[in-house]
A and B are shown apart, each in its own frame.
Chain A
Amino acid sequence: MKKSTLVILLLLLCVVIAVVPLLTIQNSEFGGADGAAEEAIGTVDPDYEPWAESLIELPGGETESLLFCVQTAIGALLLGGGFGYYIGRYHKEKDAGEKTA
Chain B
Amino acid sequence: MSKNEKKFLSLSLMLGLVLGVTQAAGAMHIMEGYLPIGHAVAWGAICLPFLAWGVIRIRRIAANSRKSILLLAMVGAFAFVLSALKIPSVTGSSSHPTGTGLGAILFGAPVMAVLGIIVLLFQAVLLAHGGLTTLGANTFSMAIAGPFVSWGVYALCRKLRINRLVSVFLAAALGDLFTYVVTSFQLGFAHPSVTGGVMGSVAEFMGIFALTQIPLAVIEGILTVVVVMGLETYAKPELREIGYLAKGAA
With A31-B93, A51-B37 in contact, is A38–B81 under 8 Å at CB? no
Contacts of A21 in B (CB 8 A): 88-90, 92, 215
How distant is A4 from chain B, measured CB to nearest CB, in Å? 10
| Contact (Cβ within 8 A) A55 B125 | yes
| Contact (Cβ within 8 A) A28 B93 | yes
Distance, CA A69 to CA B128, complexed state (A): 14
Per-position 1/0 for B185-223, Cβ under 8 A of A? 001000111100000110011001100110100110011
How distant is B103 from chain A, measured CB to nearest CB, in Å? 12
Contacts of B30 in A (CB 8 A): 34, 37
With A38-B31, A41-B187, A55-B125 in contact, is A25–B90 under 8 Å at CB? yes
- Chain A residues 68-91 with CB under 8 Å of chain B are 68-69, 71-72, 74-79, 82-83, 85-87, 89-90
Interface extent on B, as a size class?
35 or more
| Contact (Cβ within 8 A) A52 B204 | no
How distant is B73 from chain A, measured CB to nearest CB, in Å? 6
Per-position 1/0 for A31-74, Cβ under 8 A of B? 11111111011001100101111111110000010011101101
Distance, CA A43 to CA B128, complexed state (A): 23
Per-position 1/0 for B224-240, Cβ under 8 A of A? 01110111011100100
A-B Cβ contacts below 8 A, count: 179
| Contact (Cβ within 8 A) B231 A86 | yes
With A72-B85, A79-B81 in contact, is A86–B234 under 8 Å at CB? yes
| Contact (Cβ within 8 A) A17 B92 | no
Contacts of A57 in B (CB 8 A): 128
Number of chain A residues close to chain B: CB under 8 A: 56
Distance, CA A14 to CA B76, complexed state (A): 21
Contacts of B234 in A (CB 8 A): 83, 86-87, 89-90
How distant is A97 from chain B, measured CB to nearest CB, in Å? 13
Contacts of A1 in B (CB 8 A): none
Distance, CA A3 to CA B81, complexed state (A): 24
Distance, CA A89 to CA B230, complexed state (A): 13
Contacts of B223 in A (CB 8 A): 14
| Contact (Cβ within 8 A) B127 A55 | no
With A44-B200, A48-B191, A50-B34 in contact, is A58–B219 under 8 Å at CB? no
Distance, CA A99 to CA B13, complexed state (A): 56
With A55-B128, A71-B123, A82-B71 in contact, is A36–B93 under 8 Å at CB? yes
Q: Which residues of B contact A (CB under 8 A)?
A: 29-34, 36-37, 70-71, 73-74, 76-95, 122-133, 187, 191-194, 200-201, 204-205, 208-209, 212-213, 215, 218-219, 222-223, 225-227, 229-231, 233-235, 238
Q: Which residues of A contact B (CB under 8 A)?
A: 3, 6-7, 10-11, 13-14, 17-18, 20-22, 25, 28, 30-38, 40-41, 44-45, 48, 50-58, 64, 67-69, 71-72, 74-79, 82-83, 85-87, 89-90
6 A–B contacts from the bound complex (CB under 8 Å): A10-B222, A25-B90, A37-B209, A71-B84, A72-B84, A79-B74
